[in-house]
Amino acid sequence: MTNILLITFAISLIYMGIANRLSTYINILALQGIILFGVSFIELIQINTLNLIFILFETIFFKTLAIPLFLNYIIKKNSITREAEPYLPDFISVVIITAIILGSFILSNIVSGIFIRKMFFLAALAAVFSGLFIIITRKKIVTHIMGYLVIENGVFILSLSAANKMPILVNLGITLDIFVSVLVLGVFVNRIGNTFEEMSVDNLNNLKD
Amino acid sequence: MSGTGFILIILTSFFFTGILIRTKSIFSGRKGPGIFQPMKDIWRLFHKENVYSQTSSFIFKIAPDIYFASILIAIMMIPFGNQKGIFSFNGDFVFFAYLLAAGKFFSIISALDTGSSFEGMGASREALYSFLAEPAFFLLMGSLALLTGYTSFSDIFSSISFDSYISIAIGTLASFVLVLISMIENSRMPVDDPKTHLELTMVHEVMILDNSGFDLGLILYATNLKFAMYGAIIANLFLTPGKELYYSVPIFIGAQTLFAVIVGASESFIARFRMSHNPQFIITIGSVSLLIFFAVLLMLGKYI
């Protein structure tokens, strides 16, 4: 069952490569939150109850509801245009994300650890690199945050694979989540979308001392 | 007994497109034509004479027949449950794919033979899309072959079994990919709209502009047959071997009808893509097939 969820996660990464609109990105992030909820529920059923409830609450509340809704709110509030505006054509994005999944599959076969299972390693590595790829190929700051959220999901999956032995790793992953929330809040508080006409990175080049 | 699948596919092809069109008309709030109307149109075309352009050569005359024959031979290879197709050998799914490609090649060169610029454009698009869809089909069939350990259609489908979670997931993904491949190969909605009559945006329809009469009827009927053929491949995933004939025939017909309804429903709710979005859509199907391949590798524990 875990494997099915992780394959769905990988498919959601491919879908992210061809998504045009910011709302689609947000829906994919919410879907990934649900998938992570399922995976952590199946994997972590043995750890102590309080910790389990905390982790499940974190995945279902923050990843699936709070962050997507808040991103939606930011997009509306700062009147950001709904297109993602990539630098590359979507066709090349899909090919590159497929290549990333292929590469992480090969890499996960080379790296063999006792604590890490291969499917987890594959999904985590693919998510980290696709997030990085989304960050460098999209113009807007909101999409950078979304790419960072994908990276964060990847780190969370990697920590889940070893969570039975070292539950502290999951908590470290959640710390990253809090950091992301601060980042999202930063965009919201500074109202970058209103200060500059378009919330694209090119405008940051004009900043001088 | 090995001809059961062949006869059933021919029977299904009579009403497949009718169900599809009926579904579309119900979703758009119309009553719609009867489900045998497409076959009646084709029957009317069969009685008409062919009109050939003076500039076209013999290629244009033989191409529809070869296209039709290639699809008919491909159908003979489809098994039915645990019964083999009319002929079956090791590696026949490769032959199957290239037989269809040969038929498509003839339809492309006959489109080029007419010398019309629109038809050449449509032919180029059709070639591009089927070229992009081919890896998806081979990755899918290759992973099914790897999963079962056999290389012919009948052995693959008679030994496939859904007993664990991951094999159910593989079956679901495989039928998803097959539905999308069949929609690309038959030039249906997300990629190509059969109802559009603007030459600049047509893909398959523009290639047969010059065909008329009997040839046009053959080409249209070949499309119906192709749909029923892909539906039969999908239905075979669900026909677990050993079922009696009185179970497997209703399952087969039910799967085909469900497939037609799904195609019709998705056509009613999806707008066609912009031309530039089509290749990335088709590549995405290839990526999903690659994931199926990985899942099979993972299931068997066969790593590189």
Are B291 and A90 inside 8 Å of each other by CB?
no
pLDDT for the residue numbered A195: 47
Lowest model confidence (mean pLDDT) among A191-205, B183-197, B219-233, B287-301: A191-205
Alpha-carbon distance of A196 to A78, in angstroms, equals 10
- Find which of A117-121, A200-204, B225-229, B273-277 is predicted with most confidence, using mean pLDDT: B225-229
pLDDT in tens, A10-36: 999 999 888 888 899 999 999 999 998
Preferred mutation among B277, B281, B283 to probe A, highest tally of A CBs within 10 A:
B283
In chain B, residues with a C-beta closer than 8 Å to the C-beta of A3 are 165-166, 169, 295, 298
Name the token pair of B153: 């259609």
Closest CA to A180 of A37, A56, A29: A29
Find the CB nearest A91 among B173, B283, B295: B283
Name the token pair of A9: 């996660």
Q: What share of chain B is helix, strand, coil (3-state, %, to 5)?
A: 70, 0, 30
pTM of the complete model beyond 0.95: no
For residue A200, the cross-strand partners are A140
Give A54's pLDDT tier (boundaries 50, 70, 90): confident
Whether A41 has a pLDDT exceeding 60, the answer reads: yes
Alpha-carbon distance of A189 to B158, in angstroms, equals 62
Straight-line distance from the first to the last Cα atom of chain B, in angstroms, rounded to the nearest whole number = 42
pLDDT in tens, B39-84: 999 999 999 999 998 888 999 999 999 999 999 999 998 888 778 8
Please provide residue A115's backbone torsions phi and psi, each rounded to the nearest 5 degrees. Answer: -85, -25
Are B166 and A95 inside 8 Å of each other by CB?
no
pLDDT for the residue numbered A115: 63
In chain B, residues with a C-beta closer than 8 Å to the C-beta of A105 are 294
- ipTM of the predicted assembly exceeds 0.85: no
Per cent of chain A over pLDDT 90 is 15
Alpha-carbon distance of A206 to A189, in angstroms, equals 20
Average pLDDT over residues A96-104: 92
- Domain boundaries of chain A, sorted by first residue: 2-203
Find the CB nearest B169 among A4, A98, A109: A4
